Amino acid sequence: MKKTEEFIEIDILRLVKAVWQKIWAVILAAVIFGCATFGFTYIFIEPTYEARTLLYVNNSNFSVGNTSFNISTSSLSAAQELVNTYIVILKARTSLNEIIDYAELDKSYTELQGMISAAPVNSTEIFEVVVTSTDPAESEKIANAIATLLPKRIAEIVDGSSVRVVDYAIVPSARSGPSYTKNTFIGMIIGILLCVAIIVIRELFDVFVREEQYLNQTYPYPILAAIPDMRNSKSGSYYYSTSYSSEK
Q: Which domains are seen in the chain, by residue range? A: 10-45+178-207 (no CATH), 47-167 (3.30.70.1130)
Q: Does residue 123 surpass a pLDDT of 80?
A: no
pLDDT in tens, 152-167: 888 888 776 778 899 9
Side-chain half-sphere CA neighbours of 61 within 13 A: 1
pLDDT in tens, 24-70: 999 999 999 999 999 999 999 999 999 999 998 865 555 555 555 55
Give the β-pairing of 49-57 and 163-167: antiparallel
C-alpha dihedral sign at 94, 97, 103, 107: positive
CA-based nearest residue to 192, from 28, 44, 63, 8: 28
Quote the pLDDT of residue 171: 93
Report CA-CA distances (Å) from 42 to 35, 46, 180, 201, 226: 10, 8, 7, 33, 56
- CA dist., res. 204 & res. 19, Å (int): 12
- CA dist., res. 112 & res. 98, Å (int): 11
Q: Does residue 208 surpass a pLDDT of 50?
A: yes
Q: Does residue 228 surpass a pLDDT of 80?
A: no
pLDDT in tens, 60-116: 555 555 555 555 444 456 556 777 788 888 999 999 999 999 999 999 989 999 999
Name residue 53's beta-bridge partners.
129
